[in-house]
Amino acid sequence: MAFTGRRVLITGGGRGLGYEIAKQFDIVGATIIILDKEVELLNSIKSQHPKWTMIQCDLLDWEGTKSALEHLEPCDHVVNNAGVNFRQDFLDITPEKIDFIFGVNYKSIVNISQIMSKKMIASKIPGTIVHISSYASYVQLPSISVYSASKAAVVNLTKHMSAELGPHKIRVNCVCPTYMITDFTKDYIEKNPERFEKILDKQNFKEFVDPVDVGKLVVFLSGDGAKMINGSKVKIDGGC
Catalytic residues: 147
Q: What are the phi and psi torsion angles at 58 (to 5°)?
A: -100, 115
Q: Are 124 and 75 a contacting pair, CB within 8 Å?
A: no
Residue 51 to residues 28, 101, 137, 155: CA-CA distances in angstroms? Answer: 14, 32, 35, 33
User: Which region holds residue 231: left if phi is over 0, alpha if psi is between -120 and 50, else beta?
Assistant: left
Q: What are the phi and psi torsion angles at 209 (to 5°)?
A: -70, 135
Helix 95-102 with 145-165: angle, nearest 10 deg:
40
